[in-house]
């Protein structure tokens, strides 16, 4: 089954929704989670962390073969009895949405904004309709993967940085939805983590002779496990609605201080 979470210059980016996995008991047990960009990297680790807590996880990724192969592995490991394709009706039951899919800085800068920001907004709006207690839903949590580049400037990736500042501002602005709709919204801001996206960016810096920049990035690397731990912390802790979580080599998991957003 295909659905669309992004547009690239008017061309729809079709996302194959690969599977639903089921696993054993815990606090998040039985909840339905959707992880965009769940086919590899941080998203894959999010899926594993949620499965280990007993959630049912839908992987939404444009790399469908990756998603299918992962779903097979997960099904073996976590004891899935059956495979259920994602449908709009499944979305009706969603409890946790991780808007995580993203791309690095590239020449087609509109694509960066479309995937990194517009798709987060679109996904959030769709999930909110389905989750809202106002519409008879049971509430939920939306975690938007931003970046430390959503808090600090990134001279080597200005459009990427703008997209992530957008995700942070958008997520923070929805902190009133908990009271009105029963939906918590958070942004999670990892520093550099060893994934394909990161490696590709290091390669382009090296190719552009920006060795010093590449060296600095590699020196402050965090693990994708840390990012997944942060995500689980946000899902389980209902006192952190609206907060912007940082994950850095220097301080581990903490929160970005902001003055109150209330007028
Ligand atoms: N790796 C890093 O250093 C950091 C990454 N991030 C963010 O974390 C998120 C995940 O990135 P990584 O795991 O590092 O990258 P990755 O490249 O390893 O994984 C990204 C996944 O998103 C998927 N994807 C891309 N466009 C899509 C679309 N239109 N629809 C559905 N899926 C799509 C890709 O197929 C891929 O499986 C991104 O939003 C990224 O900006 C944030 C901070 C640091
Ligand atoms: C060259 C542009 C690369 C863009 C994509 C590659 C990797 C993405 C990583 C991020 O999302 C950015 C993470 C951090 C950048 C911002 C500040 C770095 C300092 C953070 C710290 O104190 O650890």
Nearest ligand (C-alpha, residue 103): 1
Give the mutation target among 5, 43, 204 for probing the ligand 1 site: most ligand atoms within 8 A of CB: 43
Nearest CA to ligand 1 atom 6: 147
Nearest ligand (C-alpha, residue 163): 1
The predicted pLDDT at position 54 comes to 92
- Per-residue pLDDT tens listing for the chain (263 residues): 334 343 333 223 334 444 444 443 237 998 889 899 999 999 999 999 999 999 888 888 888 777 678 777 766 665 453 222 343 455 447 899 999 999 999 999 999 999 999 999 998 998 888 889 998 888 999 999 999 999 999 998 999 999 999 999 999 999 999 999 999 999 999 999 999 999 999 999 999 999 999 999 999 999 999 999 999 999 999 999 999 999 999 999 999 999 876 77
105 close to ligand 2 (CB < 6 Angstrom)? yes
Nearest CA to ligand 2 atom 16: 149
149 close to ligand 2 (CB < 6 Angstrom)? yes
Give the residue from 105, 77, 93 showing the smallest Cα distance to 21.
77
Give the mutation target among 41, 191, 208, 227 for probing the ligand 2 site: most ligand atoms within 8 A of CB: 191
What's the CATH code, domain 2-255?
3.40.50.720
What's the pTM value of the predicted model, to 2 decimals?
Answer: 0.89
198 close to ligand 2 (CB < 6 Angstrom)? yes
148 close to ligand 2 (CB < 6 Angstrom)? yes
What ipTM score was computed for the predicted complex, to two decimals? 0.98
**CB-based contact 254:227 (threshold 8 Å):** no
Distance 2 CA to ligand 2 centre (A): 31
The predicted pLDDT at position 177 comes to 96
For residues 12 and 6, give the distance between their C-alpha atoms in angstroms, rounded to a whole number. Answer: 6
The predicted pLDDT at position 84 comes to 28
Q: Is the dihedral of CA 197, 83, 54, 134 positive or negative?
A: positive
Residue 25 belongs to what H/E stretch?
none
Is-catalytic flag, 86?
no
H-assigned helices in 174-242 = 177-181, 196-207, 211-219, 224-236
Distance 116 CA to ligand 1 centre (A): 9
Segments making up each domain of the chain, as ranges = 2-255
């Amino acid at each position: 089954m295909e659905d669309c979470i992004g547009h690239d210059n008017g061309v729809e980016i079709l996302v194959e929704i690969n599977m639903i996995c089921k696993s054993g008991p815990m606090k998040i047990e039985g909840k339905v989670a959707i992880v965009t960009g769940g086919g590899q990297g941080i998203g894959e680790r999010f899926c594993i962390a949620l499965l280990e807590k007993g959630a049912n996880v839908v992987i939404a990724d444009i790399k469908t073969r990756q998603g299918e192969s992962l779903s097979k592995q997960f099904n073996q490991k976590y004891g899935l009895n059956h495979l259920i394709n994602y449908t709009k009706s499944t979305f009706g039951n969603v409890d946790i949405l991780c808007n995580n899919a993203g791309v690095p800085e590239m020449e087609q800068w509109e694509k960066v904004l479309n995937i990194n920001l517009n798709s987060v907004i679109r996904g959030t709006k769709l999930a909110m309709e389905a989750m809202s207690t106002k519409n008879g839903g049971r509430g939920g949590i939306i975690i938007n993967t931003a970046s430390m580049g959503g808090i600090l400037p990134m001279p080597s990736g200005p459009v990427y940085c703008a997209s992530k500042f957008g995700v942070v501002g958008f997520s923070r602005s929805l902190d009133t939805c908990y009271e009105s709709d029963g939906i918590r919204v958070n942004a999670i801001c990892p520093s550099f983590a060893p994934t394909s996206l990161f490696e590709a960016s290091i390669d382009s810096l090296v190719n552009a002779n920006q060795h010093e920049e590449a060296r600095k990035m590699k020196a402050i690397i965090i693990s994708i496990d840390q990012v997944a731990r942060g995500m689980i912390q946000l899902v389980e802790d209902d006192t952190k609605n609206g907060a912007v979580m940082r994950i850095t080599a220097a301080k581990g998991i903490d929160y970005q201080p902001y003055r109150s957003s209330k007028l």
